[in-house]
Amino acid sequence: MSAATTGSIDMSTAILIRVEQSGKGDFKKIQDAIDSVPSNNSELVFIWVKPGTYSREKIVVPADKPFITLSGTQPSDTIITWNDGGNIMESPTLTVLASDFVGRYLTIQNTFGSAGKAVALRVSGDRAAFYGCRILSYQDTLLDDTGSHYYSNCYIEGATDFICGNAASLFERCHLHSISTNNGSITAQHRNLASENTGLVFLGCKITGAGTTFLGRPWGAYSRVLYAFTYMSGVIAPAGWDDWADPSKHSTVFYAEYKCYGPGADRSKRVGWSQSLSNDDAAPLLTKDMIGGSSWLRPAPTSFKRGSTIIKPGSKL
């Protein structure tokens, strides 16, 4: 975020838009609420999605509509769902193309099943953050496509490459759940060049599952993934990492673990081309600085406005 952009945005107050299927809100559909935001928006917009299952629309946040927050109250009762597969760019239930997006307390799912690629959430905008969301599918659940992203306390479920893409992302205190019955993969990070400052860091996370899974496999030759302070259940295959049948990538990938624990964290049978990091090597990767977060992660707004009326905390929304 540039200094000029930061200076023009009041981070404490957001325009409130309510979505409620009963018709008591401003809109019945989430996409209609997003469409109501002006192009090249320069104010925080908080779209409050009331409880319900929103299943009749694919949702896109266009690139020219930054600074939108899409928020439920808790993911168990605010569910955005679709059923499409085949193309990772076209199948997502929710696609975020805009910068400075925030998603909060939502379930985002694709119920296409195990027949092929089916993305629940595609994040292709820069500076996107997700808090307390549930992201569910089978293959390619989260297309963490491009940009700098932050995921906090999210639950992410899938079987095959279910966190994939070429963003620079930090996952903090997230729960990763594999539903693969045999030899799935949690990540397929797509870094293609050594010069790209992209990769996935999982910090203080938890991995559970139903069968066996690898920590990752290289979609790109310079794929980069780190798990740190992460609980690994026995679901993790002893080898830990898969080379996608391409041994040439052994010398170019960066696959590492740091102070992980649990039955799946035993490194005695790990592939030799993965590493256990030293304190010094791990330190720069274990803060929000690796995604530049100190300059763009923002707290939730403290007041809202509808038209010219300011709604203070504690007021009835």
Residues serving a catalytic function are 140, 161
Structure tokens belonging to residue 311: 């709604």
The answer to whether residues 227 and 199 touch, using CB atoms and an 8 Å cutoff, is no
- Output b/e per residue, 262-291; b: 16+ Cβ within 10 A: bebbeeeebbeebeebeeeebeebbebebb
Report residue 262 as tokens: 């649990």
Q: Alpha-carbon torsion 186, 286, 106, 233, what sign?
A: positive
Whole-Å CA distances, 242 to 18, 188, 214, 273: 45, 10, 6, 10
Residues 6+ apart with CB under 8 A from 47: 17, 18, 19, 30, 33, 34, 68, 69, 70, 71
